[in-house]
Structure 1
Amino acid sequence: MAERARRRPALGVRARLTLTYASLTVLTGLAMLAAVYVFMRYVPTYAIEASVGATGTAEFQRAPASPLPAPSGSARPFQPTETVPALSLQIASADDVLNTLLLFSALALVLIGALGAWISWVAAGRMLRPLRRIHETAVLAGAGRLDQRVRLRGPDDEFAQLAASFDTMLDRLSGSLHAHQRFAANASHELRTPLATTKAMLDVARADPGGQDVAALTERLLETNQRSIETVDALLDLAEIGQSPLDPGPVDLAGPVREALAEVGPEAAEAKVRIESAAGTALVAGEAVLLRRMATNLLLNAVRHNRPGGRVELSCGPAEAGGAVLTVVNTGPVVPPEKLALLAEPFFRAGGRASAPGGRGHGLGLALVQSIVAAHGGSLRLAGRPEGGLAVTVALPPEPGPGSGGPRPG
């Protein structure tokens, strides 16, 4: 701000454009005037004859159409000679022609310059009108009103493209701000709930120390504390992913997927959810540890948000354009379409905070998956199934070219 305050006041863009266009017009006129003057001075051969009267001014003789009758006593008709002064614009020599040309050309040049400046001022104002609108929207957005948009109408020119890009940026900023606000509210709730539960159990124990089962109370306190630790660890993992650059290498995605299946298998059996898998070789560029975490979170989300006796279908294989595609489909409850875009937000649950059976999960599974996929340059697509459940598709880029080393162990 201090550097900006020290700057000298400058002409606005409209004034500079006006001066530029007017100067070009005047310079073009001067060039044409010089060319005409040089031509008129050196090319033509002037043959100008003039009669000079006694007063030194140019005069000319004008004869009547027919002679007048002779006066009485005269033998021949009367033929008067009329002397008429020259007009105000008198041309008596080649120098007069050139001076007159120069004078009127200069006057015309001044008029053209003034007219050109006025037209330039009006045209520049119309051209810069979209920029003023973008500036006004930017000022409002800077004041916190992220709901403002330019919405510029007209031809698809550079200004329209700039306005569209600016509106897209505001859409993303607004969505990011709302997502952070929801994240702050949900994270506060998730972290406060175990603390409040712990406080309630301790208050009850303090009010009636002798009537408490110390072993059961201790176990519940340990479970609640462990849940808080897991939530904080998940938040730290979410914040850490993408902050440091990855060291990707060729990885067979089938390896991390098989490890994730082995890890999630016991919980799926306990929830009476059948997992059907088809994992084929699919080489991608990535880090095996993060890819295993991604597959594990996808399977845990599909198992925990399912129904007893339901199933989970997993398929992994190469993509047509290179890379790999991992798809996880479950038979859980119906997901409303308006909630699909929010499922990958931290702590969001389509069925509410207690939707997962047994209170398992922290609402960070798909958020971690999205961060891992984005860090690998892939894409995540969520689609609700009409009969219930969710279909999650992850597309990852292909492996690096030759010379990058062999596949990492999954």
Structure 2
Amino acid sequence: MDRAPGPSARLKLTLSYAGFVMVAGALLLAAVWVFLNRVPHPGLIFEPDYRLAVVRTFAPTAIAVLTFLLVFGLVGGWILAGRMLAPLTRITDATRLATDGSLSHRIRLPGRKDEFRELADAFDTMLARLEAHIAEQQRFAANASHELRTPLAISKTLLDVARTGPNHATGEIIDRLHTVNTRAIDLTEALLLLSRAGQRSFTRERVDLSLMAEEATETLLSLAEKNGVTIETSGEITPTIGSPALLLQLTTNLVHNAIVHNLPAQGTVWVSTGVRPRTVVLTVENTGRSITPQLASTLTEPFQRGTERVRTDHAGVGLGLAIVRTITQAHDGTLTLTPRAGGGMRITVELPAVSPHTDR
């Protein structure tokens, strides 16, 4: 925003300090003047015009005192204002660096807690989060480019084979192209969903997470049976506020992830919902290979995969848990991933609860 130039804050504070000192001095001199008029001065009591004599004696001293106070107020105010505004100068310099793209700089204002240091600490926290967010977006863009480039490269290779090798089975090439194209479409749709959830551009309404869990389980039941995985559901009504479509996508991703990352045979998935004092909870657990806490902490990053899937024909695009995390954050919730002692994972989504009698 373009603004007209004006006096600096330091000059304003200096003039304020000097003005305050001048007013205080004038009030003090006025008090002395009243005192001299009410209590006769021994050296002037025999003057014919006592009041005029008091003025002649008092005026030079008053002028000298006010002049001194003015100079003292200006000089002292300038120094004090500079010391008081020094932290603000550091904050301004850091802001300019951040505007120029340097997000690694931190103010780290020393000293005890006060308003300036609270502002500096809040700004440092904002810079840290912004730097982490941008770094995450850069990694995401690089990974997305790599993931999208792979099916495109495969499609190009298949088309080259079909063009240069007429003896190749056309039906086989078409089937492979269809598979590759389907994966590219799924990846693109997942990226769009991730972007939509991150922007929070959705209508909020009352949602029962237990119904979302029931619908997701029914949808994926055939996949679970095909992979030899048993799904067990339990819980109670869990009302929250959010997007039904996004929360269904969240639940579906969790159940799908629990099915495909499971034991080769006789695996189990547990889906449960519950109510806490101020939140509702959706928990999805599964059997499977052992996962370290270090690996679990990275699984919500885009294109991160923890273990091999039971079946490759249902391999996702590596955005399942990343979408879950984004949808959870967009609904002001928390996502927790905990490895199970016997193998597999426990994933908990906690969202703000609403009263069962509340419509909005």
Deviations 1:32-59 (A, max 9, x none): 1122113212443767588xxxxxxxxx
Contact 1:326/1:394 (CA < 8 Å) preserved in 2?
yes
Deviations 1:95-132 (A, max 9, x none): 44442222123212222322232222222111111111
Relative distance call for 1:92 and 1:109 in structure 2 (3 A) is farther
Pairs within 5 Å for 1:80-159: 94=50, 95-159=52-116
Rounded to whole Å, the distance in 2 between the matches of 1:48 and 1:11 is: 48
Cα root mean square deviation, aligned: 2.8
Relative distance call for 1:24 and 1:48 in structure 2 (3 A) is closer
Contact 1:37/1:102 (CA < 8 Å) preserved in 2?
no
Residue 233 (structure 1) shift: 1.7
In the other structure, the counterpart of 1:237 is 193
Rounded to whole Å, the distance in 1 between the matches of 2:74 and 2:226 is: 83
Q: Amino acid of the residue matched to residue 15 of structure 1?
A: L
Q: SS at 2:127's partner residue?
A: helix
Residue 31 (structure 1) shift: 1.6
Rounded to whole Å, the distance in 2 between the matches of 1:126 and 1:333 is: 61
Q: In the alignment, is residue 262 of structure 1 matched against residue 215 of structure 2?
A: no
Q: SS at 2:121's partner residue?
A: helix
In the other structure, the counterpart of 1:393 is 348
Contact 1:283/1:318 (CA < 8 Å) preserved in 2?
no
Q: SS at 1:392's partner residue?
A: strand
Relative distance call for 1:182 and 1:356 in structure 2 (3 A) is farther
Deviations 1:302-337 (A, max 9, x none): 222333247444342332214421111234445454
Rounded to whole Å, the distance in 2 between the matches of 1:319 and 1:49 is: 91
Rounded to whole Å, the distance in 1 between the matches of 2:341 and 2:18 is: 67
Q: SS at 1:346's partner residue?
A: coil
Relative distance call for 1:46 and 1:365 in structure 2 (3 A) is same
In the other structure, the counterpart of 1:59 is none
Alignment counterpart, residue 324 of structure 2, candidates 369, 379, 389: 369
Ranges in structure 1 where 5+ consecutive residues have no aligned partner: 51-90, 406-410
Relative distance call for 1:389 and 1:92 in structure 2 (3 A) is farther
Q: In the alignment, is residue 300 of structure 1 matched against residue 280 of structure 2?
A: no
Q: SS at 1:209's partner residue?
A: coil
Rounded to whole Å, the distance in 2 between the matches of 1:335 and 1:111 is: 77
Relative distance call for 1:192 and 1:38 in structure 2 (3 A) is same
Contact 1:17/1:124 (CA < 8 Å) preserved in 2?
yes
Q: SS at 2:220's partner residue?
A: helix
Rounded to whole Å, the distance in 1 between the matches of 2:122 and 2:222 is: 49
Contact 2:227/2:310 (CA < 8 Å) preserved in 1?
no
In the other structure, the counterpart of 1:64 is none
In the other structure, the counterpart of 1:277 is 233
In the other structure, the counterpart of 2:132 is 175
In the other structure, the counterpart of 1:378 is 333
Alignment counterpart, residue 207 of structure 1, candidates 147, 161, 164: 164
Q: In the alignment, is residue 163 of structure 1 matched against residue 120 of structure 2?
A: yes
Alignment counterpart, residue 225 of structure 1, candidates 168, 181, 201: 181
Rounded to whole Å, the distance in 2 between the matches of 1:111 and 1:356 is: 88
Aligned length: 357
Question: With structure 2 as the length reference, what TM-score do the two structures score?
Answer: 0.88
Q: Amino acid of the residue matched to residue 28 of structure 2?
A: M
In the other structure, the counterpart of 1:62 is none
Rounded to whole Å, the distance in 2 between the matches of 1:380 and 1:201 is: 41
Rounded to whole Å, the distance in 2 between the matches of 1:356 and 1:140 is: 50
Relative distance call for 1:287 and 1:140 in structure 2 (3 A) is closer
Rounded to whole Å, the distance in 2 between the matches of 1:145 and 1:356 is: 45
Q: In the alignment, is residue 31 of structure 1 matched against residue 15 of structure 2?
A: no
Rounded to whole Å, the distance in 2 between the matches of 1:310 and 1:327 is: 20
Rounded to whole Å, the distance in 2 between the matches of 1:99 and 1:401 is: 86
Rounded to whole Å, the distance in 1 between the matches of 2:136 and 2:227 is: 32
Q: Amino acid of the residue matched to residue 191 of structure 1?
A: L
Contact 1:285/1:400 (CA < 8 Å) preserved in 2?
no
Contact 2:229/2:269 (CA < 8 Å) preserved in 1?
no
Q: Which moved more, 1:31-40 or 1:334-343?
A: 334-343
Rounded to whole Å, the distance in 2 between the matches of 1:333 and 1:149 is: 42
Q: Amino acid of the residue matched to residue 114 of structure 1?
A: V
Q: Amino acid of the residue matched to residue 222 of structure 2?
A: P
Relative distance call for 1:111 and 1:333 in structure 2 (3 A) is farther
Alignment counterpart, residue 8 of structure 2, candidates 3, 9, 12: 12
Residue 196 (structure 1) shift: 0.7
Q: SS at 2:250's partner residue?
A: helix
Deviations 1:153-194 (A, max 9, x none): 211111111111111111121111111111111111111111
Rounded to whole Å, the distance in 1 between the matches of 2:316 and 2:76 is: 68
